Amino acid sequence: MKKGILIALVAALVGGLTAFFVSRAYAPESAEMVMSSDGAQYRTVNLSLDDYPDFTYAAESAVDAVVYVKVTVKDVRRSAPNSLFDFFFGYEGTPQSRERVGSGSGVIIRPDGYIVTNNHVIEGASKIEVTLNNNKTYEATLVGTDPATDVALIKIEAQGLPVIPFGNSDKLRLGEWVLAIGSPYDLRSTITAGIVSAKGRTMPNYTGEFKIEAFIQTDAAVNPGNSGGALVDKAGNLVGVNTAIISQTGSYAGYSFAVPSNIVKKIVDDLIDYGSVKRALLGVTMRPLDEKIASEMKLSSLNGVYITEVLKGSAADKAGVKEGDVLVAIDSVRLTNAASVQENVNKFHPGDKAVLTVIRDGKEKKLDVTFKGTAEETGTVDESGAVAFYGSKIKEASGETLQKLGLKRGVEIVSVGPGKIMDAGVSEGFVILYVNDQPVSKPQDVINIIKKSKRAVYIEGVTPYGKSSYFGFGI
């Protein structure tokens, strides 16, 4: 009996000591119990420095690779007529040239002088100057631009420059700390911190231009002049290029947007290797999923996109995608919305292969796809007889179309894709009547005239509603 009591006492003592040491091991060393004047107890904890977010490494390792970009843009204007004689006889005024100066930021991505920035920072620039963090200034040359993603690549003649390594923007998590580095309001090498507020954001597009948007949204303070600067993670890796803010005042209003680094890397690699962006095209029109579609198709979630149209002869068409399918994944990447589709397709080059996962008749279906380019070479004839025309397709206008519009001849734009025609704001159904003042009646007429053009193309025609219209573009 005594032996049993002794064993129980020893066991209790050992258990108590174990609990004490375990609690001490896992409790903060600086934790203290404090007694208030009314007898209540509360705990104060002073965390060590290691327990706080520390941005010093990321800031100090990245700041030297973020540069100040100064651009000079020349505007040419004509003076007003000086007299009634000038006015009535069409005097256009004397050309007057003036210079505008703008600024932004850039990120050195290679030690031999390649710098990524925003297209809108350097657009129209007659001169680009880059100032490093050590105050050395270089004149930069433009390597290439991609307006669809607002990415541009410039180069300075220098070696051994500091760089920011590319990170994987796909692995960014909501709430993760990031730093924005740039030159807002000419305040060079300014560093602000925030968290990833959202991913895959898009913004209203009022111009109708083709854009690829899957922005990283952050609450790091970004202002005019930050454009083209770096968004880095805590390890000092480039996860985005700051590009835009939404604000009623034009200044920081609590959130900003960056182009993901995975998109940026693909764009700059193409510009360096090919001189232009080799963009893959799936060839579908899509819309977000809603409760009605999800209910009708018995979907378990609203992730994915509903396919409303499949372009004939496109990569999606050849893969077997059908109108009414719900696209939910490309390879192993699950899709949430149209922005995520654009972001993932943009990672591929024409000719690359992938596996599309669609939901059809309540079942998942795997489809092998080979991506096509954004535009076939102008003049190429496809299976339907349509001729590629700067990202779009043209055919001889049908008798029905000519009769409807009261025309005797013309060349119809039967589809519009990313390229010069889309950029000009032209829609399907436009009938081309004249190219550079020469009448056309079949696609080859258009191609032959353009081949002889040296600088620009001027096209006159009729809209699908019978209204005379015209547009032009440089070549």
Q: Coil, helix or strand for 48?
A: coil
CA dist 279 and 270 (Å) reads 9
- 113 token code pair: 């002088």
Annotated active-site residue in 105, 227, 256, 261: 227
Q: Is 57 exposed, middle or buried (0-12, 13-18, 19+ CB in 10 A)?
A: exposed
Contact 438, 448 (CB under 8 A): no
Q: Which of 150, 233, 270, 325 is catalytic?
A: 150
- Dihedral sign of CA atoms 137, 251, 241, 72 in order: negative
Active site residue 120: yes
- Whether 227 sits among the annotated catalytic residues: the reply is yes
Cα–Cα distance between 340 and 289 in angstroms, integer?
A: 13
φ, ψ (nearest 5 deg) of residue 409: -160, 170
Residue 349 appears among annotated catalytic residues:
no
Which among 61, 64, 86, 120 is annotated as catalytic? Answer: 120
| Cβ atoms of 424 and 469 closer than 8 Å | no
Q: Which of 313, 364, 310 is nearest to 335 (CA)?
A: 364
Q: Is the dihedral of CA 167, 171, 177, 182 positive or negative?
A: positive
Q: Using the Cα atoms of residue 328, residue 329, residue 333 and residue 337 in order, give the sign of their dihedral.
A: negative
Residues carrying an active site annotation: 120, 150, 227
